[in-house]
Amino acid sequence: MTGVSISQFRELCQRHGLAVTHQRQVIFEALTSMPGHPSPEEVFERVRKKVPAISLATVYKAIHTFLDSGIFGEVSVHHGSLRVDRNISPHHHLVCTRCKSITDIEESDVEPVQLRRSLPAGFQVHRYAVEILGVCPRCSEQSQGNPDKQHY
Amino acid sequence: MTGVSISQFRELCQRHGLAVTHQRQVIFEALTSMPGHPSPEEVFERVRKKVPAISLATVYKAIHTFLDSGIFGEVSVHHGSLRVDRNISPHHHLVCTRCKSITDIEESDVEPVQLRRSLPAGFQVHRYAVEILGVCPRCSEQSQGNPDKQHY
DNA sequence: TCGCAAAGGATAATAATTATTAAATGCTTC
DNA sequence: GAAGCATTTAATAATTATTATCCTTTGCGA
């Protein structure tokens, strides 16, 4: 069912230098067993069934810990606040995962995306948006520090 | 400077069935004159210099009106709340712009992205994430209604 | 086992966004 | 150009999402 035993989780934590706590384990199990792309709120709802006393803040903290360690990824690089894109014509984005800056790239600068397999039947594609994820010059010259979070 | 005259804005509004108001025009001008991908807060700060009495809620509503009409786009399809991606291995996303659902697509299902021109010097690419934007089967069968917002 | 740094719990604070509602304004019709 | 209705604004209030605070508890190495 769950797929990850306590000893595996223990090992995972040790590898990333994290303390093994009961709530972290429960949160981890919830995350791995939930379909799709769960939100902190959803995780909290599920986790509190096992640990009724748990706090939402704990869930947030644990999730951020996992993200920082690269154990999980974050769906959207640019969440947090609505951003308006004045550029109506199709284009792509160059995204710095450190400073979160977004630069437009012309659509013609990238070869058209091609599928190898057909998509789920009935899905109408409007356009392809390519996000080029990496580290911008400014960020990479400072701080050879921690690897950035992974974004998916 | 601004680039968009009042008559052009007027025409734009009429084409989309929007009333022409002073605040909308100021917000529109602010949006078109700001570099990058402005947030509602930033727009508000700029706009209030011209119309001190304006409300942040008005800015939000005007922006949404513009987004709904497709006059502008939205940088991120999935903003609003943090979503955890349990899938650590590189992959792409199938995104429905109506219901905002996100489905994972294996990286191998898409031909590797290729650049036609070189990126800004010094940008270290980590990975390419392809967002396939469109309308999922469920959403497209219901509602032949309004075209969805445009996402960039 | 002891001690301390790290983590958790409760809750307040802040940020981001949306809803409500009354007053003001745009727009159509005459 | 005025009258009247629909839309928009402004001013909150309310929600939602997230983070900080502060004190207690716990994990884990010495």
CATH number where A135 lies: 3.30.1490
**Same domain assignment for residues B61 and B97:** no
Is strand D less than 7 A from the beta carbon of A22? Answer: yes
Q: Return the number of other C-beta atoms located less than 10 Å from residue B44's C-beta.
A: 20
- For residues A128 and A150, state if they share a domain: yes
What pLDDT score was predicted for residue A151?
63
> From residues 30-69 of B, which are strand D contacts by CB within 7 A?
51, 53-58, 61-62, 65
Whole-number pLDDT of residue B1: 46
User: Over pLDDT 90: what percentage of chain A?
Assistant: 72
A97 & A125 share domain: yes
Max CA pair span of chain B: 53
Last residue of a domain, one of A14, A41, A69: A69
CATH of the domain at B23: 1.10.10.10
Residue B107 within a domain: yes
pLDDT for B44:
96
- Number of domains, chain A: 2
Q: What is the mean pLDDT of each run of 10 residues along chain B (152 residues)?
A: 72 94 96 94 95 95 95 86 92 88 92 93 92 89 59 64
Q: B81 lies in a domain?
A: no
A84 shares a domain with A151: yes
Q: Which of A21, A44, A69 is the last residue of a domain?
A: A69
Burial of A100 (0-12, 13-18, 19+ CB in 10 A): middle
User: What range does the domain containing B146 cover?
Assistant: 91-151
Domain boundary, last residue among A69, A100, A122? A69
pLDDT number for residue A98: 82
Looking at the predicted structure, is the pLDDT value of residue A152 above 80? no
Angstroms from A53 CA to nearest CA on chain B: 23
**What is the distance of C-alpha B145 from the center of its chain?**
20
Name the more confident of A151 and A64.
Answer: A64
Same domain, A81 and A117: yes
The answer to whether A103 CB sits below 7 Å from nucleic acid chain D is no
Residue-wise pLDDT for B88-99, tens only, equals 899 999 998 888
Is B109 within a domain? Answer: yes
Q: Which tens digits make up the pLDDT trace of B19-42?
A: 999 999 999 999 999 999 999 999
Distance of alpha carbon A78 from alpha carbon A55, whole angstroms = 26
Strand C positions with any atom < 7 Å from protein CB? 6-12, 15-20, 25-27
Same domain for B59 and B97, yes or no, is no
Q: Does A152 lie in the same domain as A95?
A: yes
Select the residue of A37, A116, A133 nearest B109 (Cβ to Cβ): A116
A19 touches strand D (CB under 7 A): yes
CA B143 to each of CA A45, A119, B71, B138, B140: distance values in angstroms, whole numbers, following the listed order: 32, 21, 21, 10, 7
Is there a domain that residue A86 lies in? yes
User: What per-residue confidence (pLDDT) applies to B149?
Assistant: 59
| Residues of B whose CB is below 8 A from A88 | 70-73, 150, 152
Per-residue pLDDT at A32 exceeds 70 = yes
Q: Is residue B132 part of a domain?
A: yes
Say what the pLDDT of residue B2 is. Answer: 43
* Dihedral sign for Cα atoms in the order A113, A115, A119, A121: positive
Choose among B4, B119, B111, B24: nearest CA to B66: B24
> Which of A39, A24, A31 is CA-nearest to residue A3?
A31
Are B104 and B63 found together in one domain?
A: no
Residue A93, pLDDT above cutoff 80: yes
Residue A36 has pLDDT above 70, yes or no: yes
Task: Please tell me whether residues A13 and A59 are part of one structural domain.
Answer: yes
Output the DSSP codes for B13-33.
HHHTT----HHHHHHHHHHHH
- B152·A93 Cβ contact <8 A: yes
| Closest CA relative to residue A21, chosen from A58, A74, A52, A48 | A58
Are residues A57 and A117 located together in one domain of the fold? no
- Give yes or no: residues A31 and A102 share one domain: no
Residue B57 domain-assigned (yes or no): yes
Question: What pLDDT shows up at residue A2?
Answer: 46
Does residue B83 form part of some domain? no
CB-nearest partner of B133 from A111, A126, A136: A126
B 3-22: CB within 7 Å of strand D? 18-19, 21
Assess whether B129 and B96 both reside in one domain. yes
Q: How far is CA A41 from CA A30, B82, B83, B87, B130, in A?
A: 12, 9, 10, 19, 27
Does the pLDDT at position A103 exceed 80?
yes
With respect to residue A1, please indicate whether it lies within any of the assigned structural domains.
Answer: no
